[in-house]
Chain A
Amino acid sequence: MTLIVKVITRLTVGLILLYGIYIILHGHVSPGGGFAGGVIMSLAIIHLMLAFGKDMALKKVNETTAAFLESLGAILFVTIGVMGIFSGYIFVNFLKKGKPFDLFSGGNIPLYNIAISLKVGAGLFTIIFIMVVLFGIISQEEEKK
């Protein structure tokens, strides 16, 4: 990619990641939540992959890390939900609810948001990785034959 794209990418990738984290953590106060924040976080890594090539992006996040993060998100969601099973409840909001519009309010809704964002972000990065990397390998093998 050209020089302008590389310079702008170097400046804005951190800002995109920070904006994604902001939308996730304030999911119970302002519009957004876990799903939109997870997509924004995966867009930051894809931005890096488009500007600098796939080797540079894979040095930051390789595919085993992405698979681990995706499963970690799912396990975290289930754990928080099933934690009340010894009292007879599942998926019950058990932390205390603070004042409205505080950052630490809403019970265990922020924890659910973090788990969902890990899952969505890592899953979308895995899909892009499959399409970019494996497709390149397949077309290289077909050219060799």
Chain B
Amino acid sequence: MFELHVLLFFMIIAAVAAVEMKDLLSSVIAVGAVGLGLSLSFLVLKAPDLAITQIVVEILILIILIRATIKKDLPFSTSGRWFFNTLITVLFIGVFLTISYDVLRDLPRFGFPIMKVSQNYITEGLSKTGAANLVTAIILDFRAYDTFGEATILFTAVIGVLSVMRFIGRKKKGEEV
């Protein structure tokens, strides 16, 4: 558990650094560090499927982000701080932390879940499906209908990107809306 806490602390520091740095390229690299820390946390918590997927998607996102920020003529990000906005944000964070502390105390202990339905999957996963990887057996045999819905997410993502990069209806330079 000690390695997990060190990794979480590292992720928090990298996230704060990503927000506070003025140079855009350095912020993107700090975001990549947060993703790497998350992948290492998945490895420490014994979930290798998630770690593999997290690190390859992080590499893909870094390629897109670096390509997007390296050609702009805007190396410094400009922002202002206003007192009233900061106060409201701190207030909401305080309310959220108080309520979630009361809720999270009722969860079962880490490593001893209640598991009334999924105990069935663990005991007869290998004998009913024949697949040694239990995660793959659950998402592609017991719950294959949900994976079917998840496979169509890519269609939505492609339509979303196409509608942002459209030809018709873009605002021309200097045109008033």
Residues of A that sit less than 8 Å from B by CB = 23, 27-36, 39-40, 42-43, 46, 50, 70, 73-74, 77-78, 81, 90-91, 93, 97-101, 105-107, 109, 112-113, 115-116, 119-120, 123-124, 126-128, 130-132, 134-135, 138, 142, 145
Contact = CB atoms under 8 A, between A and B. Distances in A.
A109 B136 contact: yes
B158 A28 contact: no
A10 B100 CA distance: 52
9 contacts: A23-B52, A27-B133, A28-B136, A31-B48, A33-B136, A91-B145, A109-B137, A130-B161, A130-B165
Contacts of A142: 173
A105 B59 CA distance: 32
Interface of B: 48-49, 52-53, 56-57, 59-60, 63-64, 67, 126, 129-133, 135-137, 139-141, 144-145, 147-148, 151-152, 154-155, 157-158, 161-162, 165, 167, 170, 172-173
Contacts of A145: 172-173
B130 A97 contact: yes
A109 B49 contact: no
Q: Is the interface of B mostly helix, strand, loop or mixed?
A: helix
Contacts of B141: 93, 106-107, 109
Contacts of A81: 144-145, 148
Nearest to B52: A36
Contacts of B173: 142, 145
B132 A28 contact: yes
A128 B162 CA distance: 11
A50 B66 CA distance: 12
Contacts of A132: 67
A28 B48 contact: no
A113 B162 contact: no
A34 B154 CA distance: 14
Contact of A119 (B154, B170, B172): B154
Given A106-B132, A127-B161, 20 more contacts: A23-B52, A28-B136, A35-B53, A36-B52, A36-B56, A39-B53, A78-B148, A81-B145, A91-B145, A97-B129, A99-B130, A105-B130, A107-B129, A107-B131, A109-B137, A119-B151, A127-B158, A131-B161, A134-B165, A145-B172
A28 B129 CA distance: 10
